[in-house]
Structure 1
Amino acid sequence: MPEKPNLIAKHINYKIATKVILSDIDLSVHRGEVLGVVGPNGAGKTSLLKILSGQVFCQGSVFWKQKDLKEYSEMQRAQQIAVVNQINDSVFSLNLQQIVRMGLLPHSSLISRATPDDTLRIAQALEKVGLTEKAQQTFSSLSGGEQQRGLIARALVQRADLIVLDEPVNHLDVYYQHQVLQ
């Protein structure tokens, strides 16, 4: 018996004011599958990704692991779905390691302390995106590409089963575009 898809979207319809952005979209994604959404600027790609990750709700249904996404609390969604948005504020006065550490928040309580395992996972994620030497640098002082790679490291640390990347290679040079897509 074939495995059921982890992500299912049915009859997605989304409009802003009177402008139709998305109309009757259906899709499904199985575990381990990669789905790319392509189209011209303004076609609704970012809107679709926000709907699929539970950042925006609309007409239609989105199911994650056979449960309506609306039934998940924000914390439960964050435990299941990591998101790297296309546009991120870079006005943080935090350093890169602190930004990446935020990926642990969905799995922590308010009084949790960092464990050696947490520190190791952060270091491994920073190494994976080639930013080990930038860990103590303030996030706002990093280049656009370094910030993007740092946010991808945060998503990796989050341990989510679904990672939604909107324009993941934005600001990256060819070497890191290839690395991220791998």
Structure 2
Amino acid sequence: MRIAIEGLEVTLSGRTVVSGVGLIADDGEIAGLVGPNGSGKSTVLRTVYRHLAPRAGRVLVGGTDIRQLTPAQSARQIAALPQERGTDFELSVREVVAMGRTPYKRAFAGEDAADRDAVADALARVGMKDAGRRRFSTLSGGERQRVLLARALAQDPKVLVLDEPTNHLDVRHQVELLALLRAQRRTTLLALHDLNAAASVCDRLHVLHEGAVVASGAPREVLTPELLAEVFGVRAAVVDHPLTGDPLIAFDHRSPAAGVRGRAPERPQATASK
């Protein structure tokens, strides 16, 4: 299912933090939001899963404005893994994942076979199939992250919205999570700080700077040394990954960025896919 954001403007405490944002993720596509801290990535994602109401603009899922959907209808279309996760659940791992089935249940309805299969499959996908009886509160940060992703998968949404999904994960589980997202071929919007991970997993990138989209397109088109210097303030070379052929960013950790730090580049008009 295609998701599109048009003319988005968000104001917080009287300050405009996102303005004129437009971006897309086509059906089955993984679209990444990248940018420096404070550029507006999380704010944009919060409007998609309806944690924030925009001052202007709209979010379209399959051509429908999400504000026209009931909360239950929206939850069947979109599942989110936000940064503010409320992770102090006094529940078992299985009970947390089963919460993802709520949009499909009538009040006081019990689990059925479809629910049980969805929960078991989601736990297996994130490598937690034997952890169902463990208390969520006893898990490590990385384990909690995987369980909350399983909850989103159990929700069986058309669109996944993930805000820094690799936080707290060790290298192996980062690689497994990104491979899982690729294998899903489910329309996905995600924010990532790791630009090399974004270049590897995303079909399309949208670069945010000071609350606006300043570049959109395939990772190889977007992640240029010039943009990295202007937006991120780093000096880097972009080469081919020796194993995958994806763009690989080699950062210069000894020298400051070449160019003017923080000066946004000209906004391109096209949005290409990988």
Distance 1:117 1:72 in 2: 24
Give the aligned partner of residue 164 of structure 1: 161
Give the aligned partner of residue 149 of structure 2: 152
Q: TM-score, normalised by structure 2?
A: 0.63
Matching of residues 1-182 of structure 1 within 5 Å: 6-58=2-54, 59-182=56-179
Distance 1:9 1:93 in 2: 36
Question: Would you tell me which structure has more strand in proportion to its own residues?
Answer: 2
Question: Would you tell me which structure has more helix in proportion to its own residues?
Answer: 1
Distance 2:14 2:139 in 1: 40
Q: TM-score, normalised by structure 1?
A: 0.93
Return the index of the structure with the highest Cα Rg: 2
Tell whether the 8 Å contact from 2:24 to 2:31 is kept in structure 1 after alignment: no
Tell whether the 8 Å contact from 2:6 to 2:21 is kept in structure 1 after alignment: yes
Q: Where in structure 1 do 4 or more consecutive aligned residues deviate above 4 Å?
A: none
> What secondary structure does 1:51 align onto?
helix
Which stretch of the first structure deviates more once superposed, 52-61 or 98-107? 52-61
Distance 1:87 1:142 in 2: 17
Structure 1 residues without counterparts, runs of 5 or longer: none
Structure 2 residues without counterparts, runs of 5 or longer: 180-274
Identical-residue share of aligned pairs (%): 34
> What secondary structure does 2:145 align onto?
helix
Instruction: Name the Cα RMSD after superposition.
Output: 1.2
Residue 51 of structure 1 and its aligned partner are, at CA, apart by 0.9
